[in-house]
Amino acid sequence: MNLELFAPSAMEGTEELGRHACVLRGFAVAFVEELMPALHAVERESPFRRMMTAGGHTMSAAMTNCGECGWVSDRRGYRYAAIDPETGRPWPAMPDAFRRLARHAADAAGLGPFDPDACLVNCYVPGSRMGLHQDSNEKDRSAPIVSVSLGIPAVFLFGGHGRGDKARRVPLCHGDVVVWGGEDRMRFHGILPLKPADHPVVGPRRINLTFRKAG
């Protein structure tokens, strides 16, 4: 068993991915004790579900949301919505620990101030993936995006501005935070299929919190 896979990123610090994109290695580790109970409360209120794409395919990752609005997809397409279509109720409020982490990370990356109104929570199990895509549903594209990785590791694909541009592979581990803004905000990106693994705190899954200013 390779224990390195489970350790939070050994190298703390900042790695530049682009002019306005960076990885803050291990930045969320100090928040995990507060994040996990908050995540469980969100999951209990609005459980993870695999959404349908407009093309009729079931998405590989399971999702839920918290905050004023949440990302949803069905046969009609994808959009932000204030009501969880599964529960018929508003999405759970964004936990304070989530919001504080997102703000601190944007500040640390030099892309603050950031006041997110939406947090998409993706849940990957071994084999789950996310194909190359752009995030173009948010009204305010000048706001950055903050992404927090928890649990088993994944390889993030960091592409260019065209679908066919060569993508760089960036390993993301428990506690890593990525911040995108400015000219890097509209890059194509995705997640390679996850390898089988287990994480002592999060279990055999990868949780990704993606904070956005959607409304």
Q: How far is residue 146's CA from residue 138's CA, in Å, rounded to a whole number?
A: 13
Among 9, 46, 65, 122, binds ligand MD3 (CB under 6 A): 122
Among 117, 135, 138, 176, binds ligand MD3 (CB under 6 A): 135
Look up residue 90 and give its amino acid.
P
Give the pair of three-digit tokens for residue 69. Answer: 């609005």
Task: Give yes or no for residue 176 binding Fe ion (CB under 5 A).
Answer: no
130 binds, among ligand MD3, Fe ion, none (CB under 5 to 8 A by kind): ligand MD3
- Token pair 């390898």 is found at 195
Task: Give yes or no for residue 185 binding ligand MD3 (CB under 6 A).
Answer: yes
Enumerate residues 144-173 that contact ligand MD3 by CB under 6 A. Answer: 145, 147
User: Is there a cis peptide before residue 113, judged by omega within 30 degrees of 0?
Assistant: yes
120 binds, among Fe ion, ligand MD3, none (CB under 5 to 8 A by kind): ligand MD3
Give the pair of three-digit tokens for residue 10. Answer: 């050994």
Looking at the Cβ atoms of 18 and 88, the one nearer to ligand MD3 is 18
Q: How far is residue 166's CA from residue 171's CA, in Å, rounded to a whole number?
A: 16
The answer to whether 194 and 129 are in contact (CB under 8 A) is yes
Task: Give yes or no for residue 120 binding ligand MD3 (CB under 6 A).
Answer: yes
Task: Give yes or no for residue 184 binding Fe ion (CB under 5 A).
Answer: no
# of chain residues touching ligand MD3 (CB under 6 A)? 13
Among 35, 80, 116, 135, binds Fe ion (CB under 5 A): 135
Task: Give yes or no for residue 102 binding ligand MD3 (CB under 6 A).
Answer: no
| Cα radius of gyration rounded to whole Å, the chain | 16
The helix-helix angle for 96-108 and 32-45 (nearest 10°) equals 130
Binding-site ranges for Fe ion (CB under 5 A): 135
